[in-house]
Copies of this chain bind each other. A is one copy, B any other.
Amino acid sequence: MRHQRIRPGEVAIDLPATFDAGLYFIGRIRTPWARRDDCPKNGADSDAVCTIEVDERYEAGLRDIESVSHLIVLYFMDEAARDIVLQAPNHYKKPHGAFALRSPARPNPIAHSVARLLRVEGTRLHVIGLDCRDGTPLVDIKPYFASIDAVPDATVGWHAAEQK
């Protein structure tokens, strides 16, 4: 089933008939944005405090997380198309491949944000740096290690060229 129309220059594919693995939604993300169109373009564009509500079932998995300054948060963009592999977002001049974009539309619509952890209350984590609709399903939380995750000199050539 197609969830959205294709724009000029876009390419949609036939997805495989079956999935290869399953995901558990381990919680929900509470944000100020009720609808997709209300969301900031990315988490770094907003200072809004969001709350990650982890299901009680996974509480033991949070041990020591209060000592972590930044989290890698993976969440499931359940409204995104999964079949549009060449995309022409309105804010870019040309189409780009889904794997060269941070668009939620991709074969596995798992979003990734780095969020600053403000405080922990039981299974609720208050953070800054998310960009998703209220109620978005949570997939994973990881500690951000600057030694392996921070690459300040990384570049995205096509993006730099479009900003000129």
Contacts and interface: CB of A to CB of B under 8 A. Distances in A.
**7 tightest A-B CB contacts, nearest first:** A67-B157, A19-B22, A63-B97, A61-B85, A70-B154, A44-B148, A20-B25
A134 B15 CA distance: 25
Interface string A8-41: 0001011110011111111000000000000000
A16 B55 CA distance: 11
Interface in A128-161: 137, 139-159, 161
A76 B19 CA distance: 13
A114 interface: yes
Contacts of A119: none
A91 to B, nearest CB: 14
